[in-house]
Amino acid sequence: MLAMRHLLDLCKRRGFLFQSAEIHGGLRGTYDYGPLGVELKRNVSHEWWNSTVYQRSDVVGIDTAIITPPAVLRASGHVDQFTDEMVDSFLSKDRFRPDKAPELKLNNQGKILPITAPDKSTAKLWEQEIRTQFAKGAMIGRKGNEILLQVDRMEKDRIILKRDPAFISTDSAKEETTSSLKPSLSSSSPSNNDAALLQIPYRGYVDPNTNSPFLTEPRPFNLMFKTYLDPIDPIDKVINATLDAQKSSLDMKATRELVDKTLYPSLTYLRPETAQGVFINYMTIQRSHPHLRIPFGIAQIGKSFRNEIRLEHAIFRTPEFEQMELEYFVAPWQAQEQFATWRKSRMDWWRLYARHHDRIRERAHAPDELAHYSSGCMDVEYLFPWGWGEVEGIANRGDFDLSKHTEATGVKLHYTDVVLMEERVLREKTTGQKETSAEVLAREQFTPHVVESSCGLNRAMLALMLDAMDIVDEQGRSVPLEDADDNDKSRKGVRTIMRFHPRLAPIKAAVMPLISNNKDLVDICTSISHHLRQELQVNVALETQNTTVGRRYYRMDEIGTPWCVTVDYDTLSDNMVTIRDRDTGAQRRVLKDEVVGIIQDGLRLYPRHRGSQQATNIA
C-alpha cells in the first residue's frame, strides 16, 4: 500500500484530491477534487464520451435526474433486491460484507488463532471481552496488540478451542459442555463434549481487519439512499405515526408498516445507477430520433449514490461516485456478437490510455456470479496495490430492464423495424399471401436486448493515476517506490513523474520565462499561452514562479504536464523557444509560432499520416 500513500500525498500536495470538509473533521468516504483533479476527471470522461459517442453515428447522449421515484426502482428490482449481506464484528464494531471477507488465519501450524487489535490497550480490553462474553473459559494469551487463542482443531462450521485448566471445575464442566457464547453467537451442540474443549461458530470468514471470528449473523442491507420531497419534515411524520401506533397498541412490525405507509407519498431515492434513467427514456429517445435503427446506444455520465457498507481505498469505493454508462440496444439475435464487440472495444480503450498493460485484464464472470437475467458479464480489472479491482463491467443484460418497465407501466418498450415491415406489406400485396412465419414477424417487432458498458469514473481516475506514477532517479531511470523517501539524504534526486497520456493530462503545456521578473520575457510567455488556449481550447499554465527553470520542469513533471515551453533572452532576437518533452526530457529549439502545431500534433489520437485507422498511444 506504499504506492497508495505516495499517490495520496502527491494528490493532496499538488491539488488533485482533498478530504471533503477537512477543516470540520471530514466526512468518511467523501472527497473533493482540486484544480488538477477536476481537470483529470473531466479529461477522462471526455475521452470516454469521445470514444463512445462522438466517434460513432449510432450512439446519442442523455442526462437524467438523480432523484428517482420509487416506482422506477421497484420495477427494476432495486427496492426489493438491491441489497448486500452485512456482518458486524463484536470486537472492532466494524461492518463488512461477508462475501468480501477473508478466511480465518491460524499461526503455529494451526494451533494459534491470532486476533489483531489496533494497539495494546485495545487488545487488553478485547481479551477481557472474549474471556467474559464470547469464549468464556478459553485458553488465551496476549502478545503486544495480538490476542492469542489456543486452537485444538478446525471443523467445517466451528472452531474448537482449548479451555484454560484453571477454569475447569466440577460445576463449570456441567455448565460449559455446550458453548457459553451470547445467544447471537450460539451454535448446535458440539460433537466433542470433552470439558477441556470449547467451540465457537465459524461461517467461513472473519473480520478483515482483525481476524476475529466473533461476528453477528449476516443480515440484508439495502444500498439505496432515501430522501423525501415534502415541505413537512419527515421526522415529524415518523413521530406522529409512531404515537398513533402506540395508542393502538401495535407491535413493532405493524408500527414500521404504518410509518412506511405515511412516508411513502413523499419517498424518493438517490439513484443507485444511471442505467434506469436510460431505460425509462428509451421510447422518448426513439420517437425524437427516428433515424436511430437497431443496434443503437444511449450514453450517460452522471452521479450515483450507494450506501456502501465498507468505504475503502480513497475514491475506489465511496457513497457518492460518477458512472460512465452505455446502454446499447440490439436485436436478440445480435446480443452475443455485440457483447463480444464491446468487450474488445472497451479493452482497447483501456490499453490506449494506460501504460502498463500487464496491470489490466478482463475477467469473465462465473455462472454463479451472473445476475439471473444476464447471459454474460466481463469485468475490466486493474491491479491496484491491494490486488485486482473492477474498474468497468460489460454485460449482456438481455431484455430484462425494458420488459420489467413494460410490465410495471403497460407502456410497450419495443422496437419496430419499419423497413422490414414495409417490405413484408409490399411482399404480401405482390403475392397475395399473408405472412404467417413467427420468425419473420418477430424480426419486425421485438423487445430489444441490452449490452451495457458501465465504467466508474472515480475508479478509472485512481487506476490511471497509479498507472501513470513513475519514480525516477537523477538519470531519469525508474526506481522502486521504496527509494522515494525524501527524508533519506542518500536518495537525493529521486522524484515522481506522472506520465499521463497527453490527452488526460490536467495541464497540457506550461509556458515559462527563463527569468520570472523580466517583463519582456513574461509578455512573450503570456502571448504564447493565450494563443495555445485560444487555438487548442486546452488548459495551459503560465509558470512564473521565482525559482530555477529546472525546478519548474520537475514540478510540471510531478503533475503530469507533457510539454514545457521556455522563453529566454535569445527569443527576443530569433523568435525561437525551447520546448521540453516530459517523458524523454529532450529539449529542442523551435520557432514560437510552431508551438501550437507541435502540441496539437502531440494531442492527436491518430497520427496525420495514418488518418484515423490506427490509434497510437503517445504517452
> Could you report the per-residue pLDDT of 562-615, keeping only the tens digit for each?
999 999 999 999 999 999 999 999 999 999 999 999 999 999 987 654 433 333
Least confident of 267-281, 332-346, 433-447: 433-447
> Could you report the per-residue pLDDT of 365-398, keeping only the tens digit for each?
988 888 778 888 999 999 999 999 999 999 999 9
H helical segments located in 280-333: 282-288
- How confident is the model at residue 485, as a pLDDT? 55
> Could you report the per-residue pLDDT of 603-612, keeping only the tens digit for each?
998 765 443 3
213/200 Cα distance (integer angstroms) = 8
- How confident is the model at residue 266, as a pLDDT? 93
Instruction: State mean pLDDT over 207-229.
Output: 91
pLDDT above 90 coverage of the chain, percent: 69
Least confident of 79-88, 456-465, 571-580: 79-88
Q: Which three cell numbers stand for residue 279?
A: 431505460
Least confident of 48-57, 256-265, 396-405: 256-265
**Residue 580 is inside which H or E element, if any?**
strand 576-581
How far from 94 is each of 221, 334, 441, CA to CA, in Å?
15, 46, 57
Instruction: State mean pLDDT over 196-211.
Output: 90
- How confident is the model at residue 168, as a pLDDT? 61
For the cut 50, the answer to whether the pLDDT of residue 187 exceeds it is: no
Is residue 173 within 8 A of residue 187, CB to CB? The reply is no
pLDDT above 70 coverage of the chain, percent: 92
What string of DSSP letters covers 90-101?
Answer: TTT--EE-GGGP
Average pLDDT along the chain: 89
Is residue 497 within 8 A of residue 505, CB to CB? The reply is no
Least confident of 287-301, 374-388, 473-487, 495-509: 473-487
For the cut 60, the answer to whether the pLDDT of residue 180 exceeds it is: no
For the cut 80, the answer to whether the pLDDT of residue 88 exceeds it is: yes
Confidence of residue 68 (pLDDT cuts 50, 70, 90): very high
Is residue 366 within 8 A of residue 475, CB to CB? The reply is no
Is residue 537 within 8 A of residue 556, CB to CB? The reply is no
Confidence of residue 483 (pLDDT cuts 50, 70, 90): low
Is residue 283 within 8 A of residue 403, CB to CB? The reply is no
Least confident of 48-52, 55-59, 91-95: 91-95
pTM of the shown model: 0.82
